[in-house]
Structures are given as structure tokens and as C-alpha cells.
Amino acid sequence: MSAIGQDRYKYEDYEATAEWLLARIQIQPKVAIICGSGLGGLADLLINKTSFAYKDIPNFPHSTVQGHAGQLVFGELKGKPCVCMQGRFHFYEGHDIATVTYPVRVFHLLGVETLIVTNAAGGLNSKFKVGDIMMIIDHINFPGFAGQNPLCGQNEERFGVRFPCMSDAYDKDLAELMRQVAKEQDCASFLRQGVYCMLPGPTYETVAESKILQLLGADAVGMSTVPEVVVARHCGLRVFGLSLITNKVVMDYNSKECANHQEVLETSDMRTVDLQRLVSRLVEKM
């Protein structure tokens, strides 16, 4: 895995991508939504849509994961100008961290003020059930412990400060708003909150690894999201995150359960409508 951070791209590269998009869209998005595995249906809620395949956007990476459509969709959600990423980028696809986070800086240059991140995650908290939706209140950045931080390298002051704070990474006001929305939508019974831990993948966790993560205070584990959040906060964006608990992490050596991507997609399908209702109502109330 490359240790290249923000030095891989120049400010002008992000600027060129943003200018290409701005010349082709009718709205200036204020909210960006990154859709995780099986959750790309969020983009279907947009009206007055304009879509671009990642492969057609200058400097944009390509997504190769099943359940990720690989396109950028602009439009309005409940009257708010938005952009949705149908599919994100991951370490395990062979991308370096600068590529994984490239779209977030483009969003900032497009005028985006709030980033909503969604993902499919394994449940570590014993009280969580498959199909629960977890508001992310904090994260554990395991790749960051190994020096894989998207802010490594020379700092670009036009994006943000050299040493950004991460203790307030997830916006508390948006979390409180989501609690209200969940009650209104009769979703409070399966809305949780907790700490998300990122591992680079693509393998699922061993039993020993899962036990370590639990001891560290992680409630859910996945293979994405954290790098995008770090870059978003560096750019001054507000961040709100949701994890759909698509499987229970195996914690017992005698268990015959095995984590698999098909289970992730099936659970995503089951809870898609609820997730769409929650996110769309949150955006409406923002």
C-alpha cells in the first residue's frame, strides 16, 4: 500500500475536476452523500438529476466493487441541492489513500458544506442486531496508526490547517437531528450510536482481531469511510455518518457463521427504504 498522501495530486488537479463538473451541472450542491455497499439507492431519491460515470470525470478514480454503481449523481433532495457518490473507493481495490479521498476535496471546491457518509459494517457490539442502523459518533483509524493518513505530506493550506482536530469529527447537532427524525419515522427502535473502526480489508476479521477491536471500544467495523471523514474535516465540512449493520462479527471459534459480501448486499436491500427515509428527512430538516 502506498504511503503517498496529499502530495499525489496538486490543488490544480482538484480544481480542474471541480471546474469540469460545474460547467456541466445546473445546481451547486451543498450536501454530498457517499453511498456504501448496496446503498446506492439513495441517489434514486434525487430529482432533476444529472449523472456522470466516474470514468468520464477528469482525474476521478474508478470503483470496482459489486454493489457500487460508479457514478456521480447531482440533483435535489427535498429541495436541497445534493451530489451522491454511487460507489466509493477502497484500499483493497489497489487505490492509494490520496485516490480514495480525492472526491471529498472536489466536493469542497464545488461548494459542499456537509458530507453524509454511509457504509455497510459488521456489528461488534453484542447489543446490535443485523439490520440496525448506527450513527457514527467517533472512529478508530487503524490505517492511520500505520501512517496511512490522507493528510501525510506537504499541507495544502487552501484546504485546511496542518493539524486538524478530530475529537469533533462527527457533528453533534446533526446526530441530535437524526434522533428526532428516527422518532418521527418510527425507526428509533433500530437506530443505534457507536464507534466505527476501519480496517483496510479485503479480508473480514479473524476472531482474535474482532476481540481486540471490541476491547478497544469499537461497536462496528468496516473497510471505508474514515479517510473521507478526515479529509472532509480538514476542509471544514460538517460530517454525519451512518453504518448499516449487515452482519454480526464472528466472536466464537466454534461458530459455523462466516462473513460474506452477499449477506452484506442482502441486508442492505432489506433496510434500504428505511435508510433512504432517514437520510432524506435529515437533509430536509438541515
Active site residue 224: yes
| Among 243, 247, 268, 280, the one annotated catalytic | 247
| Runs of H (alpha helix) within the chain | 11-22, 97-100, 102-110, 142-145, 172-184, 207-215, 226-234, 261-285
Cβ contact 90:224 at 8 Å:
yes
Whole-angstrom distance, CA of residue 118 vs CA of residue 102: 17
| Among 18, 43, 223, 232, the one annotated catalytic | 223
| Among 9, 43, 68, 280, the one annotated catalytic | 68
| Among 32, 37, 63, 268, the one annotated catalytic | 37
| Among 11, 51, 76, 92, the one annotated catalytic | 92
Active site residue 247: yes
* Backbone φ and ψ of 269, nearest 5°: -60, -40
Active site residue 48: no
C-alpha cell read off for 64: 470496482
Active site residue 98: no
| Among 32, 43, 69, 120, the one annotated catalytic | 120
How big is the CA angle at 222 (ends 140 and 203), to the nearest 5 degrees? 115
Whole-angstrom distance, CA of residue 227 vs CA of residue 151: 9
Active site residue 156: no
| Among 93, 113, 263, 266, the one annotated catalytic | 93
Cβ contact 98:106 at 8 Å:
no
Active site residue 135: no
Active site residue 95: no
User: 178-199 burial, b if ≥16 CB within 10 A, otherwise e?
Assistant: beebbeeeebeebbbbbbbbbb
Active site residue 32: no
Rounded-to-10 torsion of CA 245, 261, 263, 117 = 30
| Among 90, 95, 108, 234, the one annotated catalytic | 90
Question: How big is the chain, counted in residues?
Answer: 286
C-alpha cell read off for 286: 438541515
Find all residues with CB under 8 Å of 97, minimum gap 6, and list them.
Answer: 2, 4, 5, 91, 143, 148, 149, 150, 152, 227
Whole-angstrom distance, CA of residue 220 vs CA of residue 235: 26
Active site residue 11: no
Active site residue 37: yes
Q: What's 257's DSSP letter?
A: -
| Among 210, 224, 268, 280, the one annotated catalytic | 224
| Residues with a known catalytic role | 37, 68, 90, 92-93, 120, 223-224, 247, 261
